[in-house]
Homo-oligomer: A and B are copies of this chain.
Amino acid sequence: MHSQLTMGCFTRNISLSLLLLVIMVHAHCQPPRGPIIISPQVNQDKTVVFRYLAPRAVEVKLSGQFLKEPVIMEKDSLGIWSVAVGPIKPDIYPYSFNVDGVTVMDPANVSFFPNERFKASLVDVPGDTPLIHAMRDVPHGTITYEYYPSVEQSTGSLVVYTPPGYNKNTSTKYPVFYLISGTTDTEETFFKVGRTNLILDNLIAEGKARPMIVVMPYGNPMARIAEQQGKPKPSDLMTRDGEDAMLRAKLFETDLVNHVIPYIEKSYRAISNRDSRAIGGFSRGGGQTLRTAFGNLDKFSWICCYSASLSTSEMETKFKQIGGNAQNTNKQLNLLWVSVGNDDFLYKSTMEFMDYLKSKDVKYKSLITPGGHTWMNVKTYLSETAQLLFQ
Contact = CB atoms under 8 A, between A and B. Distances in A.
A146 B142 contact: yes
Nearest to A52: B102
Interface string A1-17: 11111111010010010
Nearest to A231: B18
Interface residues of A, number: 82
A144 B142 contact: yes
Contacts of A144: 142-145
Contact of A56 (B6, B58, B103, B374): B58
A4 B146 contact: no
A125 to B, nearest CB: 12
Q: For the complex formed by this chain, how many copies does it contain in all?
A: 2
Interface of A: 1-8, 10, 13, 16, 18-19, 21, 23, 31, 33, 36, 38, 44, 53-58, 63, 94, 99-105, 107, 110, 112-120, 135, 137, 140, 142-147, 155, 167, 170, 182-186, 191, 197, 228, 230, 232, 235-238, 240, 267-268, 283-284, 345-346, 373-375
Contacts of A54: 100-102
A102 B99 contact: yes
Contact of A100 (B57, B185, B191): B57
A145 B196 CA distance: 13
Contacts of A58: 56
